[in-house]
Structure 1
Amino acid sequence: MTERLTADLASGALAEALADIAEDAARVILPYWRSGVVAEFKADESPVTQADREAEALILARLAELYPDVPAVAEEDHAANGAAEVPGDWFWLIDPLDGTRGFVEGRESFTVNIALIHKGAPVAGVVTAPATQITWRSAAPGAGAFRRRFGEVWQAIRVRNRPASPMALLSHSMTDEEAQRLASRHGCVQWQGTDSSLKFCLIAEGRFDAYPRTGPTSEWDTAAGQAVLEAAGGRVMAEDGSPLRYGKSCYANGGFVALGG
């Protein structure tokens, strides 16, 4: 089952393939952006649009063509059908449109997330920002992380050394008072709010230093960004200080912090 998968992971071909798939999903999403698209609401009251569904269908079909024996856990399929058990040592975690609320409101910071999980760890990941047409990806294990604009060459990225005045990224949903308190807890004197897994990627490319999160997230929200950030030299730690892991009950994360250098 995993011979081709592990060979492609080791060579970097897998991450390249995931980047192409994520960018094609972005092209499905973009016609819906700022078009007056209307969201429906799932049982957990989170929004979903036709763009989410079409992008997820494309991603699942393409992954099944390349690696037919690797199971997938995808946000919209999980919302519709559930997934009681972790599907095995290897599986995909997919969020076809992370940041749907911002997408519906016309903001730019929504992403496509695709990650490969092995024994609880994200070993490959791609994050694409359709609005800005930028993709970030991990490479072969130990080979770093990269970004590109659609159609351009890959450029290596790396976290920066922690500066004298570190900057945090936080969820838009927090009040200013809550955000300031949380940023200060991690030694950051400045902070900025943004949506989606973009936060991991901005730390990975050395523009920010920390992303602390106390509110609930799902594993498909964080896995791809964690893979990119760790490949770029960063860390993502659960509340007990251990690396954030995957395949937990209901695919739900507790609190965590993502850090650069």
Structure 2
Amino acid sequence: MNRPFYGFGLGLRHDYYQEIIETQPNIDWFEIISENYFVAGGKPLYYLDAIREQYPLAMHGVSLSIGSTDPLNQDYLAQLKKLSQRINPIFISDHLCWTGVDHINSHDLLPLPYTEQTIQHIVSRIQHVQEFLGRQILLENLSSYVTFADSEMTEWEFISEIVTRADCYLLLDINNIYVSARNHQFNPTEYLHGIPADRVMQHHLAGHSDYGDYVIDTHDMPVVDNVWSLYQEAAQLFGPVSTMIERDDNMPTFSELLAELNHARTIAEPIYTDYNGYANAS
């Protein structure tokens, strides 16, 4: 597949704004939480513009609610488009989920029933969003803790149908696969092999909290060895995919995050060099 490869990035968090501007660390790109910059001005946009001058940015949202039965929020889409025009992101992504109903936001990423009816509903909504934005989007697989009794297929079959029919791309979160595999007792390798490689455009890596009988995606811990191993499998299977580390709580020093990111490079780059045309697009 001739996918653009932007290298290795980090989630842009306010804890590190000043250090990034002053030190210009060896990072290929940053990913922002889109909604944090739906403002008219002030410090968030000041730092955003300053960092955008130094690095490519990706936009990652949490409020699109592509799986809801509520009408798509046109005001939200207008804000998303305005921000994308400001920073010209390498990716625009959100989650394959719903976040509320009857215009009430649950402030959580809620799972979907894996049915043909759900696929048709979501595909039409993705097509509307892409037409409005004038570009293809990426959707991320969730970490999940419950399943629906009326699901008709596996999660990976469901995702594959959606991204193929809607002609969008997949942000494949490796940690979320591991978390869901533990919670629902499926084989994460089977999941990877069930995903169409030509639709995988980005990877997330993150930490989680392990309670033995269940695992929660918390983004407040380092990436664990089992997730690194699954990431290595993904690198071998999909080839060069732009990869980033997410951290949202219990924030470490910036140097610790850089060390994690360099570990991702250490795992993936020897594998990627075996692929023809391997290059960094940034």
Q: TM-score, normalised by structure 2?
A: 0.28
Task: Give the structure with the higher percent strand.
Answer: 1
- Structure with bigger helix share is 2
Larger Rg: 2
